[in-house]
Structures are given as structure tokens and as C-alpha cells.
Structure 1
Amino acid sequence: MAVEYLSAGSPDGTVMGRSSTDKIGFFNATPSVRASGFTAPAGTAATNSTPYGYSQAQADAIVTWIRAVDAELKAKGLIA
């Protein structure tokens, strides 16, 4: 079976989806629109006030963000 490439040979590259409402999916996942509503935690410096070097609020924000990114990558079919 031959490989198909998604490229027009443009020197500027190839974009999938023209707007945030275009649906995209990979590896037979149901196509969905671009995720929104979550942002990366603030890039504050670690502290030594807890065993892991972050305040409870910082640690909670990191875990929440990682879970949101994980869910979106799974929904798009990019990770299992």
C-alpha cells in the first residue's frame, strides 16, 4: 500500500483546519474542534515549602492542566 502525503509542496508549510471550528481527528478518532477554556499554569518558581517544591495551588493547577491536555490528545487520537 502506497503512502499518501498531505502536502501541496508549499514553502510555507501545510495547515490542517482553517479556523478553530474546523473539526480534526487522527487515527480514526472522531473529529472535534480545537480545545479551549484551559490554560497552562503560571510559570512561577518552585518553592521549598512542600515536599514537591510547589504550593498546593501550584500543584493542583499543574495536575488540572496535564489532565486537560491528556484528555484533548486522547480525543484527537494522538495518544491512546
Structure 2
Amino acid sequence: MARTVRWTRERLIALGVRTDLVTAGAALGIGRTTAHALARRGEFPVPVLRLGNKYVVPTAPLFALLNVDVEPRKEEPSVA
């Protein structure tokens, strides 16, 4: 049985500057088979790079699509 990953802001940012197609698909709620089919047709929701026999997804467009702010969060001033 497959385990569902909860994609928090922190988990997404931890991906770094690029990720694999299956991980990007999972973050978008797209399964492995569909992600590969969309990439082959050039229809994946964000840009995909083909490097040899692998797909690589830059995370910046993924973050933009998911509306993930990658800037460090500022601490709210405490009220004393």
C-alpha cells in the first residue's frame, strides 16, 4: 500500500532547486504513470527537462504553481 506524503511548505522547499518527475507529480497530486505520459506529450503543468533517459523538474516553476513562498518567514514581533 502506497503511503501518501503531506506536502508542507518546508518539505517542498527541502527539495532544493530540482527534483525528479515522480516527486514533482506527487506534489501536484499526479501519479507516476500520468506524470510520465504528460511529460512525454509536453503537457506536464511545469517545465520538464529531459536529461538522457531521466526527467528533471526545476522547482522554481513548481513553487510558483503551488504558490509556495520560498523566502524565509519573518518572525512576528512579540507583544509584551
Class of the TM-score when normalised by the shorter of the 2 chains: under 0.3
Instruction: Determine which structure has the larger strand proportion and give its number.
Output: 2
Question: Normalised by the size of structure 1, how large is the TM-score?
Answer: 0.23
- Which of 1 and 2 has greater Rg? 1
Instruction: Determine which structure has the larger helix proportion and give its number.
Output: 2
